[in-house]
């Protein structure tokens, strides 16, 4: 009796342990209204955002009074949905790595039977069969599967870094657009004011009969065109502001009480990186390293398909209680590679490896081309800037000369205004 009770307790304990080790479903509801409300509630003064900035080595007094490129970049890392997608994909690949390392569970078969033809007085009418099947993976398949999953997980991790770089690049590009639009509006206001001054001077001269009225009309049209430039610059500024909010991952109203700093885009590097530094950058770009990891994963996939030519085994110990007699058996099961040797899957894996290699080479060539194009464009921009600065210096000198002539009574205020407009 005690033995029976002990066995019952042991069985229930084993059942509870197995049940406790299972993962249970937890609902995670997603609704359009809920996600919209959560997005609209995003701000740039949340406490957890400040903690994130400080965690990432940006020592700041929170909340920030002004936002520069480093702070905006970290805010984008905190909010941007593309990074959420990349992190989720990394979690999926991490789960695949765990899945790849799992060993197959054994299976138990129970087949009770009853002999209805057994003569009276026999020991037992019952026949009980129990068979255990233990899978044995051969040829290192599990190791190749784990290697493939780890390389794909590494590629996903590098894709997170690449996405972060793209987010940072987008934030900087739009910040430059916003700075350009603000500067353009300032210059357009100055131009409009000078042209209004020119209209006033020409109007006085026209009233005195010194110039024809058409000159006043032409100057007034130029003033009105400057007003259109102001409106165009304001439109570009509003559009850039909306795009900056989208690049950070917050609603545009989050920037209503925020001052944006442009120091990062106002200054230009004095020189381009050296060729060695560019080579180092090309060899360490996250997208290139991710493509290389995917190639290594294709290598492991090919090794796995080759290993599948060796059949797996199943060890099958069995027990039979046959009418009072205890019988034991030990069986082996293996797939016979008679009709195919996994040639088709191997050919597909080889082709996928070639595809991964070609993608890596194409990506590397595109990266080299992008660097060369960027160098050429930047050199051209520096030359254009130098020419503009020389022209501006000449015009400033000409204005000073005109100011001196005005003081000497040899030039008019209209000529000074025209030089300032130019």
Q: Confidence class of residue 257 from pLDDT cuts 50, 70 and 90?
A: confident
| pLDDT beyond 80 at 124 | no
- Confidence class for position 326, pLDDT limits 50, 70, 90: confident
Rounded mean pLDDT, 168-189: 94
Closest CA to 329 of 109, 126, 106: 109
Q: What is the mean pLDDT of residues 237-265?
A: 93
Mean pLDDT of the chain: 87
pTM of the model: 0.82
Higher-confidence residue: 19 or 363?
A: 363
The pLDDT value given to residue 1: 46
Residue-level pLDDT at 2: 46
Lowest mean pLDDT segment, chosen from 69-83, 116-130, 213-227: 116-130
Q: Point out the least confidently predicted range of 8-17, 223-232, 332-341.
A: 8-17
- Confidence (pLDDT) at 92: 95
Least confident of 52-56, 84-88, 126-130: 126-130
% of the chain exceeding 90 in pLDDT: 48
Helix/strand/coil (H/E/C) assignment for every residue in the chain: CHHHHHHHHHHHHHHHHHHHCCCCCCCCCCCHHHHHHHHHCCCCCCHHHHHHHHHCCCCCCCCCCEECHHHHHHHHHHHCHHHHHHHHHHHHHHHHHHHHHCCCCCEEEEEEEECCCCCCCCCCCEEEEEEEEEEECCCCHHHHHHHHHHHHHHHHHHHHHHHHHHHHHHHHHHHHHHHHHHHHHHHHHHHHHHHHHHHHHHHHHHHCCCCCHHHHHHHHHHHHHHHHHHHHHHHHHHHHHHHHHHHHCCCHHHHCCCEECCHHHHCCCCCCCCHHHHHHHHHCCHHHHHHHHHHHHHHHHHHHHHHCCCCCEEEEEEEEEECCEEEEEEEEEECCCCCCCCHHHHHHHHHHHHHHHHHHHHHHHHHHHHHHHHHHHHHHHHHHHHHHHHHHHHHHHHHHHHHHHHHCCCCCHHHHHHHHHC
pLDDT in tens, 284-323: 899 999 999 999 999 999 999 999 999 999 998 988 887 7
CB 109, CB 130: distance < 8 Å: yes
Would the pLDDT of 11 be above 70?
A: no
User: Confidence class of residue 201 from pLDDT cuts 50, 70 and 90?
Assistant: confident
Which pLDDT score is estimated for 15? 57
Contact present, 206 and 283 (Cβ < 8 Å): no
Q: Which residues contact 108 (CB under 8 A, 6 or more apart)?
A: 130, 131, 132, 133
Please give the average per-residue pLDDT across 150-171, as a whole number.
Answer: 96
How far apart, in Å, are the Cα atoms of 130 and each of 107, 118, 318, 320, 322?
11, 21, 6, 6, 11
- Give me the mean pLDDT over the 31-42 stretch: 91
User: Residue 390 has what pLDDT?
Assistant: 93
Which pLDDT band holds residue 414 (cuts at 50, 70, 90)? confident
Using alpha carbons, select from 130, 115, 127, 108 the residue that is nearest to residue 328.
Answer: 130
Distance CA 97, CA 146 (A): 6
- The pLDDT value recorded for residue 120 is 60
Pairing of strands 66-67, 107-114: unpaired
Cα separation, 127 vs 133, whole angstroms? 20
pLDDT at 18 (0 to 100): 56
- pLDDT tens column, 60-104: 788 888 899 999 999 999 999 999 999 999 999 999 999 999 999
What integer pLDDT is reported at residue 16 of this predicted model?
Answer: 53
pLDDT value at residue 324: 73
The pLDDT confidence band at residue 6, using thresholds 50, 70 and 90, is: very low
């Amino acid at each position: 009796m005690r033995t029976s009770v002990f066995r019952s307790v042991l069985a229930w304990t084993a059942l509870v342990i197995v049940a406790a080790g299972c993962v249970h479903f937890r609902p995670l509801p997603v609704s359009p209204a809920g996600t919209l409300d959560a997005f609209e509630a995003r701000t740039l003064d949340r406490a957890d955002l400040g903690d994130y900035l400080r965690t990432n080595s940006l020592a700041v007094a929170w909340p920030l009074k002004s936002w520069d490129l480093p702070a905006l970049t970290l805010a984008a890392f905190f909010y941007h949905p593309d990074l959420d997608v990349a992190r989720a994909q990394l979690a999926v690949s991490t789960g695949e790595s765990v899945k790849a390392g799992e060993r197959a569970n054994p299976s138990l078969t129970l087949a009770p039977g009853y002999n209805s033809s057994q003569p009276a007085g026999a020991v037992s009418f019952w026949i009980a069969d129990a068979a255990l099947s233990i899978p044995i993976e051969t040829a290192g398949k599990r190791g190749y599967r784990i290697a493939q999953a780890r390389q794909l997980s590494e590629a996903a991790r590098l894709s997170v870094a690449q996405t972060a770089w793209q987010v940072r690049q987008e934030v900087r590009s739009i910040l430059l657009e916003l700075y350009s639009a603000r500067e353009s509006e300032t210059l357009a206001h100055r131009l409009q004011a000078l042209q209004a001054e020119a209209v006033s001077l020409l109007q006085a001269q026209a009233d005195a009969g010194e110039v024809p009225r058409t000159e006043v009309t032409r100057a007034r049209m130029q003033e009105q065109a400057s007003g259109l430039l102001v409106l165009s610059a304001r439109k570009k500024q509003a559009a850039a502001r909306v795009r900056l909010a989208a690049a950070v991952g917050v609603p545009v109203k989050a920037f209503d009480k925020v001052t944006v700093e442009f120091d990062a885009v106002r200054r230009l590097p004095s020189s381009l990186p050296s060729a060695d530094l560019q080579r180092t950058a090309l060899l360490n770009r996250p997208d290139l390293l991710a493509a290389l990891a995917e190639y290594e994963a294709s290598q492991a996939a090919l090794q796995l398909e080759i290993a599948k030519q060796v059949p797996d085994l199943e060890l099958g110990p069995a027990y039979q209680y046959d009418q009072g007699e205890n019988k034991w058996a030990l069986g082996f099961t293996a797939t016979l590679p008679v009709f195919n040797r996994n040639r088709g899957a191997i050919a597909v894996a080889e082709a996928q490896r070639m595809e991964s290699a070609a993608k890596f080479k194409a990506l590397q060539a595109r990266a080299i081309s992008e660097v060369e194009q960027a160098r050429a464009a930047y050199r051209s921009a520096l030359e254009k800037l130098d020419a503009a600065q020389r022209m501006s210096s000449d015009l400033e000198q000409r204005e000073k000369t005109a100011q001196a002539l005005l003081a000497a009574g040899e030039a008019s205020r209209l000529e000074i205004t025209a030089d300032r407009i130019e």
